Amino acid sequence: MATNLGIDTDLLDEALKVGGQKSKKDTVNLALEEFIRKRKQREIISLFDEIVYEPLYDYKKLRKR
């Protein structure tokens, strides 16, 4: 799929240097993969506040076995 994007060339050049990729295409693809991975991690982290613990669970009782 051919696209015509207005990408900031300074950012792309810096990403190319920092990332060590061989081409601009590889650099953009890697950046997109990292972006997606980070967004998915945020979604997972947001679920941590939703854990409901059983109020009657006695963890000390299980230690005495």
- pLDDT tens digits, 46-57: 877 777 778 888
Alpha-helix runs per DSSP H in 1-65? 9-19, 24-46, 59-63
- pLDDT band per the 50, 70, 90 thresholds, residue 65: low
Q: Mean of the per-residue pLDDT values for the chain?
A: 87
Given a cut of 80, whether residue 64 has pLDDT beyond it is: no
Enter the pTM of the model: 0.63
- pLDDT band per the 50, 70, 90 thresholds, residue 19: very high
Asked if 21 and 33 count as a contact pair (C-beta separation under 8 A), the reply is no
